[in-house]
Chain A
Amino acid sequence: MHAEEKMTLEKWPASPEKQTLEAKNKFLGFWLFLGGETVLFASLFATYLALKDKVPGPDHALAKDLFEIPLAFLMTMLLLTSSITSVYAMYHMKNFEFKKMQLWLGITVALGLAFLGCEIYEFYHYVHHYGHTFTSSAFGSAFYTLVGFHGAHVVFGLAWIITLMVRNAKRGLSLYNAPKFYVASLYWHFIDVVWVFIFSVVYLMGMVG
């Protein structure tokens, strides 16, 4: 099957994300890339755990002073929900329902932006109320690097999905762009999984000490 071919519902295959060799390569290559990303975040988590609460003096805020469960819980819910909505988008992609896919991707983006807004508020709050900054202590450096790397991934993921939505808005689905949508949603799931670990390791473990 050629990637450029004009598609109809009857011709649309069961796994449109891996019909051509290019698509299969993209699919596998992206999974491998996520393997590398996992190690990247593992290194950041290890660094964070080694430097948690390592501050120069007693007047610096520690994890138990900083973190509040309600906000972290809200952020977790926003991001986990966005994972489900991106699954819906892929479900509609597989059924050749372009409009519905765009709608659910739009909802995913909205949830991602809401998450990002919470994160910016959170960082602002720590900096202005606790003096907990990137340069104030090793703890601060490790915290903002780990959570900030995740935040940067969210920004990149949002830019990616929005670009795909705009670029393909007028031409609908094809075997050329289906794998692109698919790997973008994989990326989005990966970001969510990393957040689950951040929620557990940084926020929950931060609360219990």
Chain B
Amino acid sequence: MSTYAQKKGFGATVWDYLTTVDHKKIAVLYLIAGGFFFVVGGLEAMFIRIQLAVPNSDFVSAGLYNQILTMHGTTMIFLAAMPLLFGFMNAIMPLQIGARDVAFPFINALGFWLFFFGGVFLNLSWFLGGAPDAGWTSYASLSLASEGHGIDFYLLGLQISGAGTLMGGINFLVTIINMRAPGMTYMRMPLFTWTTFVASALILFAFPPLTVGIFLLMFDRLFGSNFFVTAAGGNTIIWEHLFWIFGHPEVYILVLPAFGIFSEIIPVFSRKRLFGYSSMVFATVLIGFLGFMVWAHHMFTVGLGPIANAIFAVATMAIAVPTGIKIFNWLFTMWGGSIKFTTPMHYAVAFIPSFLMGGVTGVMLASAAADYQYHDTYFVVAHFHYVIVGGVVFAILAGTTFYWPKMFGTMLNETLGKITFWLFFIGFHLTFFIQHFLGLWGMPRRIFTFLEGQGLETGNFVSTVGAFFMAAATVVLVINIIITTVKNERVGNDPWGDGRTLEWAIPSPPPFYNFKQLPLVRGLDPLWIEKMEGKKGMTPAEPLGDIHMPNASFIPFVISFGLFVAAFGAMYRLDYGWGLPVLIIGLAITFGSMFLRSVKDDHGFHIHKEELIDEDDNKGVKA
């Protein structure tokens, strides 16, 4: 596949990626787009920390600060963390279960392009009159009062990208249920597949409430409805409920795949089977289940009453139990193992105490009575950055290093990788540890500046210094990626040497049909089992035969582009005469291309047995 790709011109490669339905290429698209938005969100974080480095700073104005703060949160959650994790899910999960593609390759591509156009739309707000400024939670009371179109960019952009995420979730669920290789029972699935499964189920049930919430707010702002207008009988608390019914499961949508990545890395580099596999699966499912019962802990100070607060407080604390099970299992996996301290393993080892600290402050915040003190202070900021950066971002960085050879066929430099790790690890704790105390000393969250002489100077300065460490780490990572790509030293099937699961049994990067013959899975860690019996690779479960593959299509791009156009029309409908026609044209593009997709038969194509045999001889593949 790679030799074939190199022969193509630049234009052909671009067209290939615009029309691809191959899960591995879509993964690369997710990684590029998510990586880009990660850098954008990171720059916004740097502006925040520069502004707060010293008291009475005027680096940015108060209004601009609100926009930067809002966009930092929104970008990092919706446009960086989730797409990057989706990238790994796309790249690795089908390989782990021995599938040739995902269940809905077309919808997979559609999901990516919807996310991409939604993200671009949201970020165009910077150039078209100002970004959203009501915080990433966009509480209705604030966002209805926000002037200009910033909030409309938020609503329409997230609506489009959210639809893409929902499709991705359904796609992964069906893939895992229907497309496992012979012998790959549920209780033999790798933990990353399990966490993808549970996170996808959470997406399926958590995103519709967000969709509804966004619709209601959009109707209020653009179409004159009164859901959140108190004077007309509306109620702003409805937004808070809908947002957090989505928002809390969202935290687990992010962190469960992160757990999954670490559950892959730790056994590989401890050279030991994951301790307590079934309890890990059980804990994952339980966290997913409990994740839906705790949303009101974000609303303790709203005034829902002591009974509601008590119930949600207890439910929240209960999540500490399955999470604790996981922490102990990771520790016991390492215990007595023959540990190799590679870069991914550095992140895994650092993740455990870092994430644990976020968990401990989580239990503190879950105590409803005490939460009245912490609420809306930097203590909360410190808490969620400890879980999201210490959990999710560590996992993304670890996963990038760990899966890079499988995705691109070449290893990232280990020395530079470890420099990235140390810079990031030190910078992370330097930035956020002190913020616990800033919060306890009374610094409210979301303020754009603070006064001298209130004891907040040192803490804020330390925090800003830490942020620069993390920025430096990201720069080193980018340099590493460039150097690695230029050198392009090819690696074999199992570059880490101790791969346990199916993805390490096939070439890096895999051929576009993944498995020439579907493998026979004989237990947990199937490749490890074969290795222990002295075999080189997996035993095939079927004779060599024709392989059915889906056709590439440009329609996903066009469907998403139509919604992108329609969003502009919806937003400017009240300001300009061209708004309504543009809205109609955009929807016509979208529904027209959906109609085209529906009436045009698409049977895919077959790779013939002979071509697969030829490929063994001359190592060239026809796409």
* Chain A residues near B (Cβ < 8 Å): 3-4, 21, 24-25, 28-29, 32-33, 35-37, 39-40, 43-44, 46-47, 50-51, 54-56, 134-142, 145, 163, 167, 176
| Contact of B170 with A29 in the complex, beta carbons under 8 Å | yes
Determine whether B276 belongs to the interface, using a CB cutoff of 8 Å to chain A: no
Q: A3-B603, A56-B233, A163-B599 are in contact. Are A43 and B208 (CB under 8 A)?
A: yes
| Contact of B226 with A32 in the complex, beta carbons under 8 Å | no
Which residue from chain A places its CB closest to the CB of B601 in the assembled complex?
A176
Determine whether B141 belongs to the interface, using a CB cutoff of 8 Å to chain A: no
Report which of A33, A46, A138, A142 forms a contact with B229, defined as CB distance below 8 A.
A138
Report which of A28, A37, A40, A138 forms a contact with B226, defined as CB distance below 8 A.
A138
Report which of B104, B220, B235 forms a contact with A51, defined as CB distance below 8 A.
B235
User: What are 23 A-B contacts defined by CB distance under 8 Å?
Assistant: A29-B104, A32-B174, A35-B204, A35-B205, A36-B204, A36-B205, A43-B242, A44-B212, A46-B241, A47-B216, A47-B238, A47-B242, A50-B235, A51-B233, A51-B235, A51-B238, A135-B225, A137-B232, A138-B226, A138-B227, A138-B233, A145-B227, A167-B599
Assembly CA distance A54 to B225 (angstroms): 13
**Smallest CB-CB A-B distances: 4 pairs:** A54-B233, A138-B233, A141-B225, A40-B208
| Contact of A29 with B225 in the complex, beta carbons under 8 Å | no
Determine whether B333 belongs to the interface, using a CB cutoff of 8 Å to chain A: no
Report which of B103, B178, B213, B233 forms a contact with A55, defined as CB distance below 8 A.
B233
| Contact of A139 with B233 in the complex, beta carbons under 8 Å | yes
Question: Which of A46, A141, A163 has the largest number of chain B CB atoms within 10 A?
Answer: A141
Assembly CA distance A163 to B599 (angstroms): 8
Determine whether B137 belongs to the interface, using a CB cutoff of 8 Å to chain A: no
Q: What residues on A are CB-neighbors of B599 within 8 Å?
A: 163, 167
B547 to chain A, nearest CB (A): 12
Which residue from chain A places its CB closest to the CB of B224 in the assembled complex?
A135
| Contact of B232 with A163 in the complex, beta carbons under 8 Å | no
Determine whether B595 belongs to the interface, using a CB cutoff of 8 Å to chain A: yes
| Contact of B178 with A25 in the complex, beta carbons under 8 Å | yes
Q: Is the interface of A mostly helix, strand, loop or mixed?
A: helix
Q: What residues on A are CB-neighbors of B207 within 8 Å?
A: 36
| Contact of A134 with B216 in the complex, beta carbons under 8 Å | no
Assembly CA distance A137 to B173 (angstroms): 41
Determine whether B36 belongs to the interface, using a CB cutoff of 8 Å to chain A: no
Which residue from chain A places its CB closest to the CB of B246 in the assembled complex?
A43
Assembly CA distance A134 to B224 (angstroms): 8
The 0/1 profile, CB within 8 Å of A marked 1, for residues 159-195 of chain B is 0000000100011011001110000000000000000
Q: List CB contacts (< 8 Å) of B97-119 with chain A.
A: 103-104
| Contact of A138 with B177 in the complex, beta carbons under 8 Å | no
| Contact of B234 with A51 in the complex, beta carbons under 8 Å | yes
Q: A28-B174, A163-B595, A167-B599 are in contact. Are A36 and B208 (CB under 8 A)?
A: yes
| Contact of B225 with A134 in the complex, beta carbons under 8 Å | yes
Q: What residues on B are CB-neighbors of A142 within 8 Å?
A: 227
| Contact of A47 with B598 in the complex, beta carbons under 8 Å | no
Which residue from chain A places its CB closest to the CB of B209 in the assembled complex?
A43
| Contact of A32 with B227 in the complex, beta carbons under 8 Å | no
| Contact of A40 with B212 in the complex, beta carbons under 8 Å | yes
| Contact of B178 with A138 in the complex, beta carbons under 8 Å | no
Determine whether B223 belongs to the interface, using a CB cutoff of 8 Å to chain A: yes
Q: What residues on B are CB-neighbors of A135 within 8 Å?
A: 223-226
A43 to chain B, nearest CB (A): 4
Q: What residues on A are CB-neighbors of B242 within 8 Å?
A: 43, 47
Q: What residues on B are CB-neighbors of A51 within 8 Å?
A: 227, 233-235, 238
Question: Which of A25, A33, A145, A163 has the largest number of chain B CB atoms within 10 A?
Answer: A25
Assembly CA distance A135 to B231 (angstroms): 12
Q: What residues on B are CB-neighbors of A37 within 8 Å?
A: 208
Assembly CA distance A35 to B205 (angstroms): 7
| Contact of A141 with B219 in the complex, beta carbons under 8 Å | yes
| Contact of A145 with B231 in the complex, beta carbons under 8 Å | no
Q: A137-B232, A145-B216 are in contact. Are A36 and B166 (CB under 8 A)?
A: yes
| Contact of A47 with B603 in the complex, beta carbons under 8 Å | no
Q: What residues on A are CB-neighbors of B341 within 8 Å?
A: none
Q: A4-B603, A29-B104, A163-B598 are in contact. Are A137 and B233 (CB under 8 A)?
A: yes
Which residue from chain A places its CB closest to the CB of B230 in the assembled complex?
A138
A1 to chain B, nearest CB (A): 12
The 0/1 profile, CB within 8 Å of A marked 1, for residues 48-74 of chain B is 000000000000000000000000000
Q: A36-B166, A54-B234, A163-B599 are in contact. Are A140 and B205 (CB under 8 A)?
A: no
Determine whether B211 belongs to the interface, using a CB cutoff of 8 Å to chain A: yes
Assembly CA distance A25 to B537 (angstroms): 29
Q: What residues on B are CB-neighbors of A28 within 8 Å?
A: 103, 173-174, 177-178
Q: What residues on B are CB-neighbors of A56 within 8 Å?
A: 231-233
Q: What residues on A are CB-neighbors of B4 within 8 Å?
A: none
Which residue from chain A places its CB closest to the CB of B239 in the assembled complex?
A47
Q: What residues on A are CB-neighbors of B215 within 8 Å?
A: 145
Assembly CA distance A44 to B232 (angstroms): 19
Q: What residues on B are CB-neighbors of A32 within 8 Å?
A: 170, 173-174, 204
| Contact of B208 with A29 in the complex, beta carbons under 8 Å | no
Assembly CA distance A55 to B104 (angstroms): 46
Q: What residues on A are CB-neighbors of B601 within 8 Å?
A: 176
Q: What residues on A are CB-neighbors of B595 within 8 Å?
A: 163
A66 to chain B, nearest CB (A): 15
B110 to chain A, nearest CB (A): 13
A15 to chain B, nearest CB (A): 15
Assembly CA distance A148 to B241 (angstroms): 22
| Contact of B233 with A24 in the complex, beta carbons under 8 Å | no
| Contact of B603 with A138 in the complex, beta carbons under 8 Å | no
Assembly CA distance A36 to B165 (angstroms): 12
Which residue from chain A places its CB closest to the CB of B550 in the assembled complex?
A22
Assembly CA distance A157 to B207 (angstroms): 22
Question: Which of B208, B242, B245 has the largest number of chain A CB atoms within 10 A?
Answer: B208
B197 to chain A, nearest CB (A): 12
Question: Which of B212, B242, B245 has the largest number of chain A CB atoms within 10 A?
Answer: B212
B229 to chain A, nearest CB (A): 7
Assembly CA distance A135 to B232 (angstroms): 9
| Contact of B211 with A138 in the complex, beta carbons under 8 Å | no
Q: A39-B208, A51-B238 are in contact. Are A145 and B219 (CB under 8 A)?
A: yes
Assembly CA distance A3 to B208 (angstroms): 33
Q: What residues on A are CB-neighbors of B225 within 8 Å?
A: 134-135, 140-141, 145
Which residue from chain A places its CB closest to the CB of B229 in the assembled complex?
A138
Q: What residues on B are CB-neighbors of A50 within 8 Å?
A: 235, 238
Which residue from chain A places its CB closest to the CB of B215 in the assembled complex?
A145
Q: What residues on A are CB-neighbors of B104 within 8 Å?
A: 25, 29
Q: What residues on A are CB-neighbors of B173 within 8 Å?
A: 28-29, 32
Q: What residues on B are CB-neighbors of A44 within 8 Å?
A: 212
B518 to chain A, nearest CB (A): 12
Assembly CA distance A3 to B548 (angstroms): 12
Q: A36-B170, A134-B224 are in contact. Are A25 and B103 (CB under 8 A)?
A: yes
The 0/1 profile, CB within 8 Å of A marked 1, for residues 593-621 of chain B is 00100110101000000000000000000
| Contact of B170 with A138 in the complex, beta carbons under 8 Å | no
Assembly CA distance A138 to B177 (angstroms): 42
Q: What residues on B are CB-neighbors of A36 within 8 Å?
A: 166, 170, 204-205, 207-208
| Contact of A47 with B227 in the complex, beta carbons under 8 Å | yes
Q: What residues on B are CB-neighbors of A136 within 8 Å?
A: 232
